[in-house]
């Protein structure tokens, strides 16, 4: 399957790469199929085709960001009175979207404490379930087959597969109905594009695609080109990233300066029994807690010479973030406490550099 993706489809001129159709509209009648690029565009459609191959899905629709994919999917599936079950350990914007917007519009939402066991033990009959396959930043693993067998066929199961990636885990084949991705992360992999996707059976993706056209969060063709180019090297990037992340997480565990390390492939991880069977690799996110209080986060992380302090993850270069003051700062203190996010927590996104290059730099903040 990955070889098919690398080979790329030739266009009618025989160009080796699929071209970027930078055209807002298409002349009728020959441009009937595309008409207008908010609705549909050949380069974006080509990316969707390739994502469907990696996700093993019937259909995919692409968005201007991961959040556009999540909000359009929610808009398509949630109505006043719909019962939504959600793991509370997710990207803060996704949490806020549900908590501050959809709840206000009458969607009944049950947020569970981190971990699959808590999700499976609720007294709540959901119509829709949302989890991140590997949650950000706690790295808890939400096994989609366990969710499906516990709740049965009725609920629509949405999996945000951003952190696990199509290389490490296939959420659709494991029971999810919709696999969402922020393509801005590991999928594109070079910190140069913002995008999102929703994949699944045509029947459900068609509705989400119509919502995209209505809301207008469509992907532009240049981004589609960049994401597709990145996706073609996902397997070799992820093999290296998986290896780097596992090794760094082991070294961090042994450091006297570190209190705890969260990484799905560590034997001490609470989901290890599942992750060791279901995941090809643990992905690139390693979250850890320093033993000592960080006096001034900015000054502390500025000691790093090579690793940038960045509000994103999934690139070929290692990055570090402080969820408390960065990605999850919009949460209330109580909400952060529930998730175990505190001032001593740091989140690494491992890249493809030599392991000693990364480890040498990390010494400066341990
Ligand atoms: N889902 C997860 C798990 C994320 O970590 C993020 C962003 O960090 C998003 C969705 C949102 O994606 P985007 O930034 O492309 O809108």
Can you tell me the mean pLDDT for 179-204?
Answer: 98
**In this structure, what token pair is assigned to residue 30?**
């020959």
DSSP 293: P
**pLDDT band at residue 14 using 50, 70 and 90 as cut-offs:** confident
Q: What is the mean pLDDT of the chain?
A: 96
Least confident range from 21-35, 62-76, 188-202: namely: 21-35
Give the Cα separation of 90 and 339 in Å (integer). 9
Pairing of strands 156-160, 128-132: parallel
pTM comes to 0.97
> Looking at ligand 1, which residue's alpha carbon is closest to its atom 13?
66
Q: List pLDDT tens digits, range 115-155.
A: 999 999 999 999 999 999 999 999 999 999 999 999 999 99
Q: List pLDDT tens digits, range 64-106.
A: 999 999 999 999 999 999 999 999 999 999 999 999 999 999 9
With beta carbons less than 8 A apart as the criterion, state whether 257 and 58 touch.
no
Using CA atoms of 148, 178, 185, 261 in order, give the dihedral in degrees to the nearest 10: -10
- Evaluate the omega torsion of the peptide bond into residue 29 and state whether it is cis, within 30 degrees of 0: yes
Can you tell me the mean pLDDT for 19-43?
Answer: 95
Is the minimum distance from the CB of 194 to ligand 1 under 6 angstroms? yes
With beta carbons less than 8 A apart as the criterion, state whether 262 and 284 touch.
no
Is the minimum distance from the CB of 165 to ligand 1 under 6 angstroms? no
Which single residue is written with the structure tokens 């705890």?
A: 260
Q: List pLDDT tens digits, range 293-322.
A: 998 999 999 999 999 999 889 999 999 999
Maximum Cα interatomic distance, the chain, rounded to a whole number of Å: 69
> Looking at ligand 1, which residue's alpha carbon is closest to its atom 12?
66
Phi-psi region of 340 (alpha: psi -120 to 50; beta: other; left: phi over 0): left
pLDDT at 243 exceeding the cut of 70 = yes
Give the Cα separation of 213 and 192 in Å (integer). 24
pLDDT at 15 exceeding the cut of 90 = no
Angle at 166 between CA 163 and CA 171, to 5 degrees: 85
Among candidate residues 90, 80, 89, 143, the one with its CA nearest the CA of residue 116? 143
**In this structure, what token pair is assigned to residue 165?**
């990636």
Using CA atoms of 266, 70, 309, 365 in order, give the dihedral in degrees to the nearest 10: -30
Distances (CA, A) of 252 to 285, 306, 318: 13, 18, 15
What are the b/e assignments for 158-168, b being 16+ CB within 10 Å? bbbbbbbbbbb
* Number of Cβ within a 10 Å radius of residue 315: 25
Mutate-to-test residue for ligand 1 from 178, 185, 197, highest number of ligand atoms within 8 A of CB: 185
Q: Which fold has domain 2-231?
A: 3.40.640
Is the minimum distance from the CB of 66 to ligand 1 under 6 angstroms? yes
Can you tell me the mean pLDDT for 246-273?
Answer: 98
What per-residue confidence (pLDDT) applies to 6?
A: 79
* Number of Cβ within a 10 Å radius of residue 279: 21
What per-residue confidence (pLDDT) applies to 10?
A: 67
pLDDT at 275 exceeding the cut of 90 = yes
User: Distance, CA 32 to ligand 1 centroid (Å)?
Assistant: 34
> Looking at ligand 1, which residue's alpha carbon is closest to its atom 5?
91
Q: Which fold has domain 234-365?
A: 3.90.1150
User: Distance, CA 79 to ligand 1 centroid (Å)?
Assistant: 23
**In this structure, what token pair is assigned to residue 349?**
């996104």
Q: Helix, strand or coil for residue 148? A: helix
Is the minimum distance from the CB of 158 to ligand 1 under 6 angstroms? no
> Which ligand 1 atom sits closest to the C-alpha of 183?
15
> Which ligand 1 atom sits closest to the C-alpha of 184?
15
Can you tell me the mean pLDDT for 59-66?
Answer: 98
* Number of Cβ within a 10 Å radius of residue 229: 18
User: Distance, CA 182 to ligand 1 centroid (Å)?
Assistant: 5
Mutate-to-test residue for ligand 1 from 74, 141, 158, 184, highest number of ligand atoms within 8 A of CB: 184
Phi-psi region of 281 (alpha: psi -120 to 50; beta: other; left: phi over 0): beta
Question: Domain boundaries in the chain?
Answer: 2-231, 234-365
Give the Cα separation of 125 and 140 in Å (integer). 23
**In this structure, what token pair is assigned to residue 313?**
């993850």
What percentage of the chain reaches a pLDDT higher than 90?
93
């Amino acid at each position: 399957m990955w070889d098919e993706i690398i080979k790329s489809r030739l266009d009618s001129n025989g160009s080796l790469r699929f071209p970027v159709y930078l055209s807002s509209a298409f002349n009728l009648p020959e441009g009937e199929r595309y008409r207008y690029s908010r609705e549909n565009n050949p380069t974006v459609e080509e990316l969707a085709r390739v994502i469907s191959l990696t996700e093993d899905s019937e259909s995919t629709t692409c968005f201007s960001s991961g959040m556009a994919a999540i909000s359009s999917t929610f808009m398509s599936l949630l109505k006043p009175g719909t019962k939504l079950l959600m793991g509370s350990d997710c990207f803060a914007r996704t949490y806020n979207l549900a908590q501050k917007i959809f709840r206000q519009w009458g969607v009944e939402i049950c947020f569970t404490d981190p971990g699959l066991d808590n999700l499976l033990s609720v007294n709540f009959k959901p119509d829709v379930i949302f989890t991140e396959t590997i949650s950000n930043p706690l790295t808890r693993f939400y096994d989609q087959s366990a969710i499906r067998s516990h709740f049965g066929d009725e609920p629509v199961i949405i999996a945000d597969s951003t952190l696990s990636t199509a290389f490490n885990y296939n959420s659709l084949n494991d029971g999810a109905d919709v696999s969402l991705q922020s393509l801005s992360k590991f999928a594109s992999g070079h910190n140069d594009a913002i995008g999102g996707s929703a994949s699944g059976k045509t029947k459900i993706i068609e509705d989400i695609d119509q919502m995209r056209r209505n809301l207008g969060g469509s992907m532009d063709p240049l981004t589609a080109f960049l994401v597709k180019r990145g996706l073609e090297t996902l397997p070799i990037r992820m093999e290296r990233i998986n290896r780097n992340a596992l090794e760094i997480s082991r070294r961090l565990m042994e450091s006297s300066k570190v209190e705890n390390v969260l990484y799905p492939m560590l034997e001490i991880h609470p989901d290890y029994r599942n992750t060791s069977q279901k995941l090809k690799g643990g992905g690139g996110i390693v979250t850890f807690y320093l033993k000592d209080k960080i006096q001034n986060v900015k000054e502390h992380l500025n000691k790093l010479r090579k690793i940038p302090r960045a509000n994103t993850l999934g690139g070929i270069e290692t990055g570090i973030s402080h969820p408390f003051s960065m990605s999850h700062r919009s949460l209330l203190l109580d909400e952060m406490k529930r998730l175990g996010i505190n001032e001593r927590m740091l989140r690494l996104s491992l890249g493809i550099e030599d392991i000693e290059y990364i480890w040498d730099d990390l010494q400066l903040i341990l």
